[in-house]
Amino acid sequence: MDEAADRAALKALLYEYARRLDAGDLDGVARLFAHAEVGSTAHSVRARGTTAVRRLYDGIRLYDGRPGTQHVITNVRLAIDAARRTAASQCYFTVLQSHADLPLQPILAGRYVDRFEHAREGWRFAERTIAADLIGDLRHHMRPPERS
């Protein structure tokens, strides 16, 4: 695989995350992070592996099986190490949402800060930090956290 193919494969992972999330495939989203740690700058919770990452997405509201969102990924910057075993990425995301009772609106914008590793089966996520820089009305997107 050459560097152009590596870059295409890494971008495909970024876009696949958005596609699965917008489709309501939360189990599929979690599988993307089977070998990774996921967290947010908004809180100190970090999750590692499919089961733990899947729990992070339990609060997503679904309408007929989908969240009514569209994630737009832009400004992708990739850095691949010389040995092509690890890579880092930072990109912007904007989340739009609409459903029957909600007009189209942007609800969230920020950055995904990712690390990747190259395994036998190809590139995979090693770490993701979600940095939400602009937060809109999330009431229709996420349930409030349960209080203990």
Range 135-147 average pLDDT: 82
pLDDT at 101: 84
Range 125-147 average pLDDT: 89
pLDDT at 143: 84
The predicted-structure confidence for 29-88, as pLDDT tens digits, reads as follows 999 999 999 999 988 889 999 999 999 999 999 999 999 999 999 999 999 999 899 999
Q: pLDDT-derived band of residue 145, with 50, 70 and 90 as boundaries? A: low
- The span from the CA of 148 to the CA of 116, in Å, is 35
The predicted-structure confidence for 13-22, as pLDDT tens digits, reads as follows 999 999 999 9
The predicted-structure confidence for 90-125, as pLDDT tens digits, reads as follows 999 999 999 888 899 999 999 999 999 999 999 999
